Amino acid sequence: MVASLTSHEPATGVLLWQGEAGDVDMEVARARTAWPKWAAQPIAYRIETLRRFVNVVRRNEEALADLIARETGKPLWDARVEVSAVMTKVDVSVAAYSERTGQRRLEANLGARQSVRHKPHGVMAVLGPYNLPAQMPNGHILPALLAGNAVLFKPSEKTPAVGEMLVKLYHEAGVPQDAVRLVQGGPDVGKALTAHPDVGGILFTGSAQTGIAINRQFAAQPSKILALEMGGNNPIVLWDTPEISAAATIIIQSAFLSGGQHCTAASRLIVKDSLADRAIAEVKKLADRLIVDHPHASPTPYMGPVIDNPTADGLTESFLYLMSNGGRPIKHMVRTQPGLPFLSPAIIDVTAMKERPDVELFGPLLQVVRVAEFGDAIAEANNSRYGLSASLIGGTPEQYNQFWSNVRAGVVNWNRPTNGATSAAPFGGVGISGNHRPSAYYAADYCAYPVVSAEIETPRASIGVGLKDIDVTAMGD
C-alpha cells in the first residue's frame, strides 16, 4: 500500500497538498537509465538548459513565492527573496564549475601532456529541508545537473508542494524528465533512497541527528560521496560599540529572520557585561515591535508561524526548560493564536544556568550569556559541538582578528548578521555542522571527481637502466 502524504498551511491549517510517497526503486532505475545520455551532452548544452530554467522560474516567480509562503508560513517578502536566490544560483554554479572543475592541461616529459578533467558521480540523491524548500535543494540540484549527474530529489515531507513545483520548473526548462526525479516521502523513503546501491552520492541538508545517522550508514562505503549541512547553535558576540541601535538590529535579523528557522540563525547572544543592560533593552524594544502574522497580512509581518504545531510545542517546552533551570526571561515566548504555530520572539538570559543545552533550537528563541572578558566571549562562542556561523558586533580590528582566528565556525562575520550567506562563496561548518564538504560556490567539488590523464599522440618509451647487454654474437646467428 502506497503511503498518503499531506501538507497544510501553517498559518491557517488549510490542506494545501495531498499525494503519495514515491517508489524509490522505480525512480532510481529511471534516473540511472537517463544519466548516461545527460552526462554525454556537451557542457554548453547543459549550461544553456539551466539558463532556460532561470527564465522559467522568472515567469513563475510570483506563483512560486506564494507557494513557498503558504507552505512554510514565512512572509511573502521573505519567500520572494528565496525565489530570487534560486535564479541567481545558475550563474554562480556555472562560474564555480568553470573555476573549480574546469579542464586543465599541463606539459609533461617527451612532449606528453597531463590532462585534468572531471566526471560526474552518476545518480545523486538530494534531501532538502523545509525552511528554504526551494533555495537549499536547488543549491545542490543545479551544480549536480551541470556536472552531468542525474538527480533524485526528496523534499522535506513538510514541504512537498514546493518540491513538486521546483521539479516541474526544471522539466519545463528542458531538463529531461528522468534526469531529475521527484521522490516524495518521509524518513522511511529517505532511508531507502540513501541506502540504494545505485545512488552514487547523497547531498543532505537537515538536522544533525539525521545527518550523523546517514554518515554512520556510509562509514563502510567510501565510494559514495556524502555532503552534509547540519545546522548550528550559532553565537553572536556583542562587544564595545557606540552603535547600540544598529547592533540591536543586526541581532534581531540574526535571531528572528524567518522565525529563527535558518541554520545560520543566532541562537546565543554573548554580550560584554558592561554593555548588557543597555543592549538587551534595545534588542527587546525592537523585538516587541516585530509583527508576527500570516504570510499575506497587512501590515507586512516580519515573521510568520513556525512550520507546524509539534515544532511550536517543542520550542515552548524548551523555553520553559531554560526558565526552570536558571534562565531569566527577558521576553516570554507566547502562542499568539490558539491551534496554530504562531510564536512571539523570545529572549532569555541563561548566564546563571550551570549547564546550558547544546542543541539547535530551530525557532525564534534567543539565549543571552553575559561575560566580562573578550577571551571569555570566544570561549563561550566555542562552547558547542556545532560550528556553522558566528558573528562579532563591535570590537576593534585586532579583536576581530582574534575572533576570526579562534572561533570555530565555517562562516565568521564582523558587524553583519550570522545569516544571509552568499552563494558566491563556500558555505559549510565544522564540528557537527557538516563534514568538510562546503556547499554554495564549492558545491562543484562534490558533484564531480577529478580524473588525471597522461596523454601523447604517438607511443614513446625507453628503459635506461636495469637491462642486460645485448649479445651481438647471438644476434648474428
**pLDDT > 80? residue 266:** yes
Are 111 and 169 within one domain? yes
Give the span between the Cα atoms of 226 and 432, in whole angstroms.
14
Are 156 and 134 within one domain? yes
pLDDT > 70 fraction of the chain, expressed in percent and rounded: 97
Are 307 and 199 within one domain? no
Contact 349, 368 (CB under 8 A): yes
Are 336 and 451 within one domain? no
DSSP for 80-148 reads HHHHHHHHHHHHHHHHHHHHHH--EEEE-GGG-EEEEEEEE-SEEEEE--SSSTTHHHHHHHHHHHHTT
> Residue 378: which CATH number?
3.40.309.10
474 lies in a domain? Answer: no
**pLDDT > 70? residue 67:** yes
117 lies in a domain? Answer: yes
181 lies in a domain? Answer: yes
User: How many structural domains are present in the chain?
Assistant: 2
CB atoms within 10 A of CB 193: 23
pLDDT band at residue 459 under the 50/70/90 scheme: confident
Phi-psi region of 332 (alpha: psi -120 to 50; beta: other; left: phi over 0): beta
263 is catalytic: yes
Mean pLDDT, rounded, of the chain:
94
Give the span between the Cα atoms of 337 and 293, in whole angstroms.
9
Give the span between the Cα atoms of 302 and 146, in whole angstroms.
36
Give the span between the Cα atoms of 183 and 24, in whole angstroms.
7
Residue range(s) defining the domain that contains residue 178: 4-230+434-455
Higher-confidence position of 115 and 67: 67
Give the span between the Cα atoms of 113 and 454, in whole angstroms.
6
> According to the model, what pLDDT value does residue 324 have?
96
> Residue 82: which CATH number?
3.40.605.10
Are 225 and 101 within one domain? yes
Find the mean pLDDT for residues 452-468. 85
**pLDDT > 90? residue 2:** no
pLDDT band at residue 476 under the 50/70/90 scheme: low
Per-residue pLDDT of 301-321, as tens digits, reads 999 999 999 999 999 999 999
Phi-psi region of 291 (alpha: psi -120 to 50; beta: other; left: phi over 0): beta
447 lies in a domain? Answer: yes
Chosen domain end from 405, 424, 443? 424
Are 176 and 238 within one domain? no
- Which amino acid, 372? A
Q: Which of 9, 71, 164, 263 is catalytic?
A: 263
**pLDDT > 80? residue 111:** no
> According to the model, what pLDDT value does residue 1 have?
43
What number of helices (H) and strands (E) belong to the chain? 15, 19
Are 408 and 261 within one domain? yes
467 lies in a domain? Answer: no
Are 186 and 239 within one domain? no
Q: Which of 82, 229, 282, 360 is catalytic?
A: 229
Per-residue pLDDT of 122-166, as tens digits, reads 999 999 999 999 999 999 999 999 999 999 999 999 999 999 999
Are 24 and 136 within one domain? yes
Are 265 and 137 within one domain? no
Beta strands in 252-406 (DSSP E): 266-272, 328-331, 346-349, 365-371, 389-393
CB atoms within 10 A of CB 32: 18
- Which amino acid, 97? Y
Are 252 and 183 within one domain? no
Find the mean pLDDT for residues 43-51. 96
pLDDT band at residue 220 under the 50/70/90 scheme: confident
Q: pTM of this prediction? A: 0.93
Helices of type H across 232-272: 244-256
31 lies in a domain? Answer: yes
pLDDT band at residue 364 under the 50/70/90 scheme: very high
pLDDT band at residue 219 under the 50/70/90 scheme: confident
Find the mean pLDDT for residues 377-381. 98
Are 226 and 239 within one domain? no
C-alpha cell read off for 77: 517578502
468 lies in a domain? Answer: no
Nearest to 229, CA basis, from 406, 440, 391: 440
Nearest to 363, CA basis, from 68, 72, 6: 72
- Which amino acid, 158? K
> According to the model, what pLDDT value does residue 345 have?
98
475 lies in a domain? Answer: no
> According to the model, what pLDDT value does residue 289 have?
97
